[in-house]
Chain A
Amino acid sequence: GQQLNQSPQSMFIQEGEDVSMNCTSSSIFNTWLWYKQEPGEGPVLLIALYKAGELTSNGRLTAQFGITRKDSFLNISASIPSDVGIYFCAGREGSQGNLIFGKGTKLSVKP
Chain B
Amino acid sequence: NAGVMQNPRHLVRRRGQEARLRCSPMKGHSHVYWYRQLPEEGLKFMVYLQKENIIDESGMPKERFSAEFPKEGPSILRIQQVVRGDSAAYFCASPPQGARTEAFFGQGTRLTVV
Write the residues of chain A forming the contact surface with B, with a CB cutoff of 8 angstroms.
4, 6, 31, 33, 35, 40-45, 48, 50, 88, 90, 92, 95, 97-104
Contact = CB atoms under 8 A, between A and B. Distances in A.
Given A42-B108, A45-B101, A50-B100, A102 B42 contact: yes
Interface residues of B, number: 25
B42 A103 contact: yes
A64 to B, nearest CB: 17
Interface string B39-55: 01111110010000000
Given A33-B101, A41-B107, A42-B106, A98 B42 contact: no
Given A48-B101, A97-B56, A40 B107 contact: yes
A109 B109 CA distance: 28
Interface string B84-112: 00000001000000001111111110100
Nearest to A6: B42
Given A33-B101, A88-B42, A101-B43, A44 B48 contact: no
A41 B105 CA distance: 9
Nearest to B6: A42
B44 A101 contact: yes
21 contacts: A31-B101, A40-B110, A41-B1, A41-B108, A42-B1, A42-B107, A42-B108, A43-B43, A45-B101, A45-B103, A48-B101, A48-B103, A50-B100, A88-B42, A95-B100, A98-B48, A99-B101, A101-B35, A101-B44, A103-B40, A104-B42
B59 interface: yes
B69 interface: no
Given A88-B42, A99-B45, A31 B105 contact: no
A98 B107 contact: no
B110 to A, nearest CB: 8
A99 B102 contact: yes
Given A48-B101, A102-B42, A104-B41, 11 more contacts: A4-B42, A40-B108, A42-B1, A42-B108, A44-B105, A45-B103, A48-B103, A98-B59, A99-B43, A100-B45, A103-B40
